């Protein structure tokens, strides 16, 4: 398997995952109909799963160790936070809480993007 092919596939899944995240989030802020659509729901989870699988493949192919690469450890922590906030936001009924969680998640996604491109830790 070619590293660049896996990396570009991972990047494609990341973009698709982010797009579908915002489609579902803004849908939940309105009527929620699109977020509850079976194709959108299954497609979103399938892409997220493929994104995580491609991430693991990249880590193995590159020989990265999150305990030695602090930027990667930060990225993994932020991905877990992103997933947790997504679950919490999906269960919220208050619009204000959804907007706040969406704003926090946007900041997390920006930090993940920075870490992926700069490969420089922000905090650790």
106 and 73 inside one domain? yes
The pTM (predicted TM-score) of the whole model is 0.89
Domain boundary among 37, 63, 89: 63
What pLDDT is attached to residue 32? 78
Number of domains comprising the chain:
2
- 73 with 57, same domain? no
Tell me if 21 sits within 8 A of 86, measured CB to CB: yes
Parts of the chain with a pLDDT under 50 = none
3-state secondary structure of 47: helix
pLDDT at site 36: 84
Sequence-distant (≥ 6) Cβ neighbours of residue 87 within 8 angstroms? none
pLDDT of 10: 97
| pLDDT for res 115 | 96
């Amino acid at each position: 398997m070619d590293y660049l092919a896996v990396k570009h596939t991972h990047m494609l899944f990341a973009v698709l995952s982010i797009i579908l995240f915002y489609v579902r989030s803004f849908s939940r802020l309105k009527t929620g109909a699109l977020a509850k659509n079976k194709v959108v729901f299954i497609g979103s989870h399938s892409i997220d799963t493929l994104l995580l699988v491609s991430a693991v493949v990249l880590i193995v192919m590159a020989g990265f160790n999150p305990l030695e690469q602090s930027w990667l450890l930060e990225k993994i922590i932020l991905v877990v936070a992103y997933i947790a906030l997504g679950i919490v936001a999906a269960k919220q009924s208050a619009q204000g809480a959804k907007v706040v969680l969406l704003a926090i998640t946007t900041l997390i996604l920006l930090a993940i993007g920075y870490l992926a491109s700069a490969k420089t830790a922000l905090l650790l």
